Chains A and B, each alone.
Chain A
Amino acid sequence: MTRIIFVCMLAVALISAQNTHYQPDANWRAPDEAAAKENPLAEKPELAAGGKKLFKRNCVECHGDSGQGLKKAADLQLPIVQNQSDGALFWKITNGNPDRGMPSFSGIPELQRWQLVLYLRKFKQIDTEKTQN
């Protein structure tokens, strides 16, 4: 019984810590060719620091400091986001989803957008740690 209560409390805590307003757009999918692209900076994890700075400048307003998602923006820690390929995340940053409020960031230089993808992967660790706790 105690175990069930604990699991329920954990589930409530996880749900309340996340953005419940976010409704994924099933039609917002990267084309296969774009999704298959590999991050050219994958071997340079130190460049994620620059991605953090770019995230603060361009993304924090809607996605929150740790990518938890504010307003109607996606919780970037969720598996539904983190299970996407680097190429798919890059495509989504580049194109945006203007009808759902996500602007296009194609004005950011290409390599800097890949730096953002590097930094987004840091949120996967947060989600893993949250689940383990």
Chain B
Amino acid sequence: MKSRILVFIFLFGITVILHAQEAPYFVTYDHHLEEPGNLEIATWTTIGIPRSGQNLFVAPFAEFEYGITGRWTTELYLEGQGTPGDSAVFTGWRLENRFRLLKREHWINPILYFEYEGINEATKILKEVVGNAEISSERNADLAAVHAHEIEAKLILSSNFHDWNLSENFIVEKNLSQAEGFEFGYALGVSRPLSKIASGNECHFCLENFNAGVELYGGLGSTNGFGFHQTAHYLAPVISWQVSDNSSFHFSPSFGLTNVSYPALLRFGYVYEIRGFGQKLARVFEGKP
């Protein structure tokens, strides 16, 4: 079983890659979109540290982010989940779109976010936390058999002030497969680069290549009961390292703040950006060198 999980992680790991000059957040979105024509490929992993009697899980997901225009970015996610002693399963896909509303930079920059999720109940990537918390101890095979079609919207507000980024996300999600009402959640993030000045020499470990901050995210109940009752919340220091001009590594330990949260989550990811992907692809089809 362990070998199956390792193969599963490896297969997702192959597609690993990440981005440049982006905030180090895992859950919170800021207002920066992908550059038009660029494709960003990333693999992220969420490891859930269990309470006693529960199982540890590893939930990797691959992300393909493409800048369609300067104000529209689209992303496709493929996700899975593996539990030692149980099984590894494919948990579905998500398609998200983000739209920048204002042309220029302002004190507060709003972005609208819409996502469709074709997932099953075995999903544990915790890309966002909404509604009330349920930590299931059912087997993956049973959870994966329950499919869900969900739509999600976010209002992203983000500000850059003297090198600090402050972002607030307000989340609403609706499971179209079940009568759960609308679920709500939030994510807040603050971050800044560790150096204000770029050195002239090429270096991997200069402070300018690191960005650090903290995230706070959690659920806010649903239309059946809005508030903090039985909701999970996490506080997470985050750090990103610009490994090269077009790749970065991200890491975050998250700490559960309520007794229905996982005690801790370990998150890490690697992002690689293919610049001018759209133009390169167009040249292939047009037969131009």
Q: List 5 A-B contacts (CB under 8 A).
A: A50-B199, A53-B198, A98-B100, A99-B70, A107-B21
CB neighbours of A102 from chain B (8 A): 70
- A104 near B196 with CB under 8 A, answer no
Q: Kindly specify which of A11-19, A55-63, A75-83, A122-130 makes contact with the partner chain.
A: A55-63
- B198 near A104 with CB under 8 A, answer no
Asked if A108 CB lies within 8 Å of chain B CBs, one says yes
Q: Kindly specify which of B30-38, B116-124, B181-189 makes contact with the partner chain.
A: B30-38
CB neighbours of B208 from chain A (8 A): 112
- A104 near B200 with CB under 8 A, answer no
- A61 near B275 with CB under 8 A, answer yes
**B contact residues, range:** 35 or more
* Nearest-Cβ distance from residue A51 to partner chain B, whole angstroms: 7
Interface residues of B in 187-206 (CB under 8 A from A): 193, 195-202
Asked if A106 CB lies within 8 Å of chain B CBs, one says yes
Interface residues of A in 98-133 (CB under 8 A from B): 98-112, 115
Q: How many residues of A contact B (CB 8 A)?
A: 33
Residues of chain B touching chain A, judged by Cβ–Cβ distance below 8 Å, are: 20-23, 30, 32-33, 35-38, 67, 69-71, 100, 103-105, 160, 162-163, 165, 193, 195-202, 208, 245-246, 275-276, 279
CA distance A58 to B20 in the complex (A): 8
Residues of chain A touching chain B, judged by Cβ–Cβ distance below 8 Å, are: 46-47, 49-54, 56-58, 61, 71, 94-112, 115
CA distance A58 to B32 in the complex (A): 14
Nearest chain B residue, comparing its CB with the CB of A111: B196
Most chain A C-beta atoms within 10 Å of own C-beta, residue among B70, B163, B208? B70
- A107 near B23 with CB under 8 A, answer yes
CB neighbours of B71 from chain A (8 A): 98-99
- B196 near A97 with CB under 8 A, answer no
CA distance A53 to B197 in the complex (A): 11
- A54 near B36 with CB under 8 A, answer no
- A105 near B200 with CB under 8 A, answer no
Nearest chain A residue, comparing its CB with the CB of B200: A49
